[in-house]
Amino acid sequence: MREAPVINDVTFSDTINSGLDQVAKIISSGSSAPGTILNLCNDEFIRQFEKADMIISKGQGNYEGLSEVDRPVFFLLKAKCKVIASHLQVLEDDIILKASNYKSKTSIR
């Protein structure tokens, strides 16, 4: 979650109104980028990211920012452009669930 919505992001109040806070800890990435770019994220986000057993990443922007991270990430996205579709070896507009190429636990900073 971001401090403020970027493009079509969910806001903090949206997460509370949906009840998501009843089953998950809601934290901000600290970044206003339209994807998760780890070197722009706050320390709390990085700590949670590093200690997570598994990460579910939604959206093409997050795929662009996290696809090279050596962590167990599952990407759920729609391939909205030819570049990403080609990178994923799928058709443009395909909806994808892809596991990362996780190799080992390494620091992300």
pLDDT in tens, 28-59: 898 888 889 999 999 999 999 999 988 999 99
65 shares a domain with 32: no
Tell me: pLDDT of 90 over 90: yes
Is residue 9 one of the residues assigned to a domain? yes
43 and 65 housed in the same domain: no
- Full residue range of the structural domain in which residue 17 is found: 1-51
Cα gap 88→94, rounded to integer Å: 10
Higher pLDDT, 32 or 65: 65
What is residue 103's predicted lDDT score, i.e. its pLDDT? Answer: 73
**Mean pLDDT, to the nearest integer, of 62-78?**
93
Distance CA(20)–CA(83), nearest Å, equals 33
**How many residues would you count in the chain?**
109
Q: Are residues 71 and 91 in the same domain?
A: yes
What pLDDT is attached to residue 42? 96
Amino acid identity of residue 12, one-letter, is F
Do residues 37 and 60 both lie within one domain? Answer: no
Is 108 part of a structural domain of the chain? no
